[in-house]
Chain A
Amino acid sequence: MNNGRLAEIALTIMAIACSAFSYLPRESKIQQPSTGTIAGKVTIDGKPSAGIKVTLSPADKTVSPNRANSDIQTTAGEDGRFRLSGVPAGTFVLTATGGAYVLADSGISGPQGKTIILHEGERLEDIDLVLMRGGVITGRVTDAESRPLIGERVSLQLVDSDGRSRPVVLTNQTSESDDRGIYRLYGLAPGRYRVSLGVTLRAEARAPDAGASHSYYPVTYYPSVTDESQAKIIDIQGSSEVTDIDIVRSPGVKAHTVAGRIVDAESGSPMQEVEFGYSSVTKPYVSRVGSGYRTNLKGEFSVENVKSGRYIGFAVLDSKSDSYSEDVLFEITDKDMRELQIKVQRGSSISGVAVVEGTDDPSVVSQLSNVTVRAVPLDNTNTSGGTRTTIAQDATFHLSGVKQGKVGLMISSPPPKNFSLIRVEQNGIEQPFDILQIMTGETTGVRLVIAYGKGNIRGQIRVQGGTLPSGTRLAVSVVKSNAPARSFGEAQPDPNGRFVITNIPTGDYQLLVRTVPAASAIIRQGVRVDSGKDTEAVIVLDLSK
């Protein structure tokens, strides 16, 4: 029998074992939880480094800043060794300060700190932090007339091999230019970066200073372009210092007036006292805002100080309205837009009932009245034909002003967010992907099947038959077998391969383990999540296959 087969059998046994294994909730103990220790060594460029401050902070960032005292700090000794004592159970991030340094090994962790999960009273040893001097990007920012821009914020994006970028947050340094226009960003992990100037433009809700002539500056990327795809990428390898990354701010764009009318689509008559809204389409999903300007008796509106760009305009309608607004695409280049016409259409309605699967408990069912149901039209990506309502006391719901066509249903509940939508049925038939086909008039007989409660998964990934190549780490996510793209939770395992994913709605799922960046090894393993419980799962990743 070859190793592969053995592994397969091992995996199968594990899978069966784990899906049948559920942790019972712990009994509450009325005693002081015992604390543990975390110890290891800090080295910089291979040599032990003394005097580096090592900080253990709770991974839960929702803790208020006043609780900074829950950080545990110690200083590495002459041999680079450190020991943190009195650590309570929990999930933490271990960092070494000296903002100029970054973690050199990526192992099964992210670049800025090691994620550590400590169980009660556990003593972890040999948690080594290998640091190297981070990269530096520095340069000068000026306006179009070569004058230095003072106090200007410079932003960084990290670009991955697929071309996707995410913003980089630098801690404990100012990312602003000084009085000479010079900025310096340090402590950068190796990678490919875009540098830019200026904050993202947002469609303003209300014209700030009416009548004044304000220029607005779009985001400018190094060296001097406004198009992100044309920005020059800066490659940081090892501890390089890249200088002369000078950015010249693009010339400002003037703002203009948008004016028009809102009318009823069928009769053509003007609609009074309706608020005009607009949102930018040049940036991916910007939330829709009203302009604060309402139509007059003739149905006319006028908004000043709108920056150049492409927008959609719409009428802001109450969610109880029977109608929905058309979206009109318009573009502001170098002059005012005067003739924008927005039509308001009569919409359809959806009505039905909501049920909680698996329980008739009245205390649970009564909480349904906190749940909001939303209908989102799917035929166009940006449309205001969406509407929402709250489930009534008798568990029925009614949505009005829905745009005809393909409509997706979603629910949301206030914290602690105990409800999630399992499936949508219409007249007894399950609607795939929770999508209904809406015609004119009323759509009835809709049944929302909702799950109550959330549980946790505590897992362990065991890597055997080799070690992961350097530069790769693992990632775990929780997905539904029929909807693999929708994630119910994600985690990165700690150096020991342990992970915790919380707040997963009850139900049957698959654990998906993959390597990052190159998704070369993938494991799927079934798991069942029960309300209020911790489910244990062990996954074996056999690299010898």
Chain B
Amino acid sequence: MAHFVKNCWLASTAALAVLVISGTATAQQQVGSPEPTAVAPALVSSQHTGTINGHVMIDSGRSLEGVKVLLSQAGASGPAHQATTDDNGEFRFDDLHDGIYTVVGAVAHGYFISRQPTNAIEPDLHYLGDSINIKLVKGGVITGKVLDARGDAVVGVSVRSVRTRDLEGLPPDGDLETAGQTDDRGIYRIYGLKAGIYVVEAGGSRRDLRVDSYKNDSPTYYPSETRATAREISVQAGGETSSIDIRYRGDAGHSVSGNIIGPAALSPALISVMLLYSGSDTVAAFPSPSSNNDNRAFSFSGVADGEYELLIRVNNPSLGQGFIATRAVTMKGADIVGLKISPAPLGSVTGQIQVDPSVTVAKDSKCKMRHVLTTETVMLIARKSEASQSKPDRMLPNKISGSPNEKGQFAFHNLGEGIYRLEARLPNDAWYVKSITLSAGPSKSQQSGSSKTIDVARLGFSLKPGENLGNLFITLAYGAAGIQGRTAVSRKADSPQRVSLHLVPAEREFEDDPLHYAEVPVSGDGSFSIGNLPPGRYWMISRPVFDSVTNSVIKPLAWDPNERAKLRDEAKPGSPQLELQPCQRVTEYVLP
């Protein structure tokens, strides 16, 4: 143990020494007269096309052929690109435009994509030239019989498994519902399921709107219940949960119907209407097809007594705006007719990314890396910094991402009211985000006549219902620094499972600028890597993470001024301080 510590100290001293030397060398160079030829880093639109390829295998290590891989450009609309794995399990996408891509699906009957726990929240981002390895896990199975009150088999009824949470008790991410159908013996078998806790339902309206004899019934939940008293079952990946037999009730339930009114109802519009179980994201009923093709009228049949939430989403291209409405509905033994719902408009924000012109780079400086940033490979994420209390916004995603177009302009549509933060994911580590500002118009502001500039990086931007905000500027600068290294891994039994590393700015002028804070998780082996850092002086502190990662809004601590103050207090006495120069790369840094 002592041996290890001694080596550790030697190494870190040596590292520090190297840093100091290289730092002063750069400083001397910069103090001298500027080189006559300076390079201006630039933001351009890419004309490149390229390839992304990869490989799919299942957990036994076998390559799987015939898998449909779906790749989508972040923030782009339209269908995903599709490729099928060949006999060696390899796939390939050619002629892709420059941009950021994510794998949105790998379809092989009976399997689902296995995700590493740390990447459970955000999908991996890929750029042209990347090679992606996808691992599939064999799904679990639920099987059983559906019988009616007389004990006869119920034939051809749709049976659906709905995942309520995963095995660790967390709310599930995606892929909530999988369906099967009973055969002539009343037996059903649903396969390819992710591990988790499920309820099983039979009958009722179907997502695929296919007509069968049971579509107007109220669904029966295993073993013979309504949703409120449904019994939960657990499913393991690759396992089989059998004898989940349902005694079908075939209750008629009642109907809920109404109309959508107001500006949202101006045709043409894309309207989606669903009835959800109150307080959950699971669907209780899909609307019956309307008989006169008027999509502003809706009706549900087979609704059992209970509490529901009607969710209506409208996308109206002629108005260029989206709308949303929710309405609590209580069903108590009678049809509900004549509902009139007027969805409220959703807001949007538009802006521009630009390059800070004042940051130029001496031609023979350390900054040899890519001077040019393509707009399409910048990924911007708008995230709600506080979960809104109001009901409709609970249905909206907390996070929207997109890429700027070839002119560097970007837009986020269909945003609910709230306060948002913007983040950028940059494709190469030579750049960092210098500032995010909103220039408000001169009208209706306190300082009449002058335009206010809001520091969005510090405060976020606030959106009222239906507000369309413009003039958001994200300024990027060239010359980012990066640190790679490891922390000492403690072997004590009570040490936290996960540790996060925080960078806190040591310079006063940046102490309230979240862009100068960084937070990164430390891997199981103690290694970490932080990039896209603005040059400056930083303290480095490590903080244990005791709570498990949830799917709720992930907030970097630095967004909250109180947390920033706490971090600074923790950092000040005697923490290691690091000075990072433009384009500097620190490797093998060891944090005690």
- What per-residue 1/0 map shows which CB atoms of B87-104 lie under 8 Å from chain A? 110111010000000000
Chain A residue numbers with a CB within 8 Å of B225 are none
A485 contacts B by Cβ under 8 Å: no
Contact B86 A214 (CB under 8 A): yes
Contact B155 A98 (CB under 8 A): yes
B255, chain A: closest CB distance, angstroms: 13
Contact A178 B181 (CB under 8 A): no
A179, chain B: closest CB distance, angstroms: 4
Q: Complex formed: what's the CA distance from A209 to B109 in Å? A: 21
Contact A209 B92 (CB under 8 A): yes
Contact B86 A213 (CB under 8 A): yes
Contact A172 B156 (CB under 8 A): yes
Contact B110 A212 (CB under 8 A): no
The prevalent SS among residues of B at the interface is loop
Chain B residue numbers with a CB within 8 Å of A208 are 84
Contact A71 B211 (CB under 8 A): yes
Contact B181 A174 (CB under 8 A): yes
Chain B residue numbers with a CB within 8 Å of A209 are 83-84, 86, 91-92
A184 contacts B by Cβ under 8 Å: yes
Contact A69 B110 (CB under 8 A): no
Chain B residue numbers with a CB within 8 Å of A187 are 184
A173 contacts B by Cβ under 8 Å: yes
Q: Complex formed: what's the CA distance from A234 to B183 in Å? A: 20
When C-beta atoms are compared, the residue in chain B nearest to A217 turns out to be: B66
Identify A210's interface contact among B94, B289, B291, CB under 8 A: B94
Contact A69 B291 (CB under 8 A): yes
Contact B156 A67 (CB under 8 A): no
Contact A213 B87 (CB under 8 A): yes
B192 contacts A by Cβ under 8 Å: yes
A134 contacts B by Cβ under 8 Å: yes
When C-beta atoms are compared, the residue in chain A nearest to B291 turns out to be: A69
A253, chain B: closest CB distance, angstroms: 12
Identify A215's interface contact among B87, B110, B153, B213, CB under 8 A: B87
Contact A66 B293 (CB under 8 A): yes
B342, chain A: closest CB distance, angstroms: 25
B-facing residues in A476-502 (Cβ within 8 Å): none
When C-beta atoms are compared, the residue in chain B nearest to A212 turns out to be: B86
When C-beta atoms are compared, the residue in chain B nearest to A149 turns out to be: B109
When C-beta atoms are compared, the residue in chain A nearest to B155 turns out to be: A100
When C-beta atoms are compared, the residue in chain A nearest to B183 turns out to be: A184
B384, chain A: closest CB distance, angstroms: 37
B145 contacts A by Cβ under 8 Å: no
Contact A53 B94 (CB under 8 A): no
Chain B residue numbers with a CB within 8 Å of A97 are 156, 212-213
Chain B residue numbers with a CB within 8 Å of A151 are 109-110
Q: Complex formed: what's the CA distance from A208 to B83 in Å? A: 8
B-facing residues in A169-216 (Cβ within 8 Å): 172-174, 176, 178-179, 184, 186-187, 208-215
Contact A66 B184 (CB under 8 A): no
- What per-residue 1/0 map shows which CB atoms of A59-91 lie under 8 Å from chain B? 000000111110101000000000000000000
Contact B213 A53 (CB under 8 A): yes
- What per-residue 1/0 map shows which CB atoms of B183-219 lie under 8 Å from chain A? 1100001011000000000000000011111000000
Q: Complex formed: what's the CA distance from A151 to B87 in Å? A: 18
Contact B155 A99 (CB under 8 A): yes
B90, chain A: closest CB distance, angstroms: 7
Q: Complex formed: what's the CA distance from A99 to B88 in Å? A: 41
Residue of A71, A99, A152, A187 with most chain B CB atoms under a 10 A cut-off: A99
B242, chain A: closest CB distance, angstroms: 12
Identify A178's interface contact among B83, B191, B210, B213, CB under 8 A: B191
Contact A212 B90 (CB under 8 A): yes
Chain B residue numbers with a CB within 8 Å of A73 are 213
A-facing residues in B119-152 (Cβ within 8 Å): 138-139, 141
A150 contacts B by Cβ under 8 Å: yes
Contact A178 B189 (CB under 8 A): yes
B290 contacts A by Cβ under 8 Å: yes
Contact A68 B289 (CB under 8 A): yes
Chain B residue numbers with a CB within 8 Å of A134 are 184
A136 contacts B by Cβ under 8 Å: yes
B134, chain A: closest CB distance, angstroms: 16
Contact B110 A179 (CB under 8 A): yes
Give the number of A-B contacts (CB < 8 Å): 86
Chain A residue numbers with a CB within 8 Å of B138 are 179
Chain A residue numbers with a CB within 8 Å of B88 are 213
Chain A residue numbers with a CB within 8 Å of B210 are 172
Q: Complex formed: what's the CA distance from A209 to B68 in Å? A: 12
Chain A residue numbers with a CB within 8 Å of B212 are 97, 172
A174, chain B: closest CB distance, angstroms: 6
Q: Complex formed: what's the CA distance from A55 to B109 in Å? A: 34
B35, chain A: closest CB distance, angstroms: 47
User: A100-B155, A209-B84, A214-B87 known; A66 and B213 CB under 8 Å?
Assistant: no
Q: Complex formed: what's the CA distance from A474 to B290 in Å? A: 39
Q: Complex formed: what's the CA distance from A173 to B92 in Å? A: 35
Chain A residue numbers with a CB within 8 Å of B209 are 65
Q: Complex formed: what's the CA distance from A136 to B84 in Å? A: 34
Chain A residue numbers with a CB within 8 Å of B288 are 69
A-facing residues in B484-535 (Cβ within 8 Å): none
Contact A100 B87 (CB under 8 A): no
Contact A150 B183 (CB under 8 A): no
Identify A68's interface contact among B65, B155, B211, CB under 8 A: B211
Contact A100 B184 (CB under 8 A): yes
When C-beta atoms are compared, the residue in chain A nearest to B187 turns out to be: A184
Q: Complex formed: what's the CA distance from A83 to B155 in Å? A: 23
Contact B184 A69 (CB under 8 A): no
Contact A69 B213 (CB under 8 A): no
Contact B192 A179 (CB under 8 A): yes
Q: Complex formed: what's the CA distance from A134 to B189 in Å? A: 21
Q: Complex formed: what's the CA distance from A100 to B154 in Å? A: 10
B453, chain A: closest CB distance, angstroms: 50
Q: Complex formed: what's the CA distance from A32 to B264 in Å? A: 36
Residue of B88, B184, B191, B289 with most chain A CB atoms under a 10 A cut-off: B184
B-facing residues in A415-472 (Cβ within 8 Å): none
Q: Complex formed: what's the CA distance from A20 to B84 in Å? A: 64
- What per-residue 1/0 map shows which CB atoms of B292-332 lie under 8 Å from chain A? 01000000000000000000000000000000000000000
Q: Complex formed: what's the CA distance from A472 to B65 in Å? A: 49
Q: Complex formed: what's the CA distance from A33 to B180 in Å? A: 42
Contact A150 B110 (CB under 8 A): yes
Chain A residue numbers with a CB within 8 Å of B155 are 98-100, 186
Q: Complex formed: what's the CA distance from A79 to B494 in Å? A: 73
Chain B residue numbers with a CB within 8 Å of A71 are 211
When C-beta atoms are compared, the residue in chain A nearest to B152 turns out to be: A51
Chain A residue numbers with a CB within 8 Å of B92 are 209, 211-212
Chain B residue numbers with a CB within 8 Å of A211 are 92
When C-beta atoms are compared, the residue in chain A nearest to B83 turns out to be: A209
Identify B141's interface contact among A53, A174, A179, CB under 8 A: A179
Chain A residue numbers with a CB within 8 Å of B83 are 209
Identify B184's interface contact among A152, A179, A186, CB under 8 A: A186
Chain A residue numbers with a CB within 8 Å of B153 are 100
Chain A residue numbers with a CB within 8 Å of B192 are 179
- What per-residue 1/0 map shows which CB atoms of A307-347 lie under 8 Å from chain B? 00000000000000000000000000000000000000000
- Leading 3 A-B pairs by shortest Cβ distance: A151-B109, A100-B184, A179-B191
Q: Which A residues lie at the B interface, using CB under 8 A?
A: 53, 55, 65-69, 71, 73, 97-100, 133-134, 136, 150-152, 172-174, 176, 178-179, 184, 186-187, 208-215, 252
- Apart from A97-B156, A179-B192, A209-B86, list 4 A-B contacts with CB within 8 A: A184-B183, A186-B184, A209-B91, A214-B87
For this complex, 28 residue pairs linking A to B, each with C-beta atoms less than 8 Å apart, are: A53-B213, A66-B290, A67-B291, A68-B211, A69-B289, A69-B291, A71-B211, A97-B212, A97-B213, A99-B155, A99-B156, A100-B156, A150-B109, A172-B212, A173-B181, A174-B181, A178-B191, A179-B138, A179-B139, A179-B189, A179-B191, A184-B183, A186-B155, A186-B184, A208-B84, A215-B65, A215-B87, A252-B87
Q: Which B residues lie at the A interface, using CB under 8 A?
A: 65, 83-84, 86-88, 90-92, 94, 108-110, 138-139, 141, 153, 155-156, 180-181, 183-184, 189, 191-192, 209-213, 288-291, 293
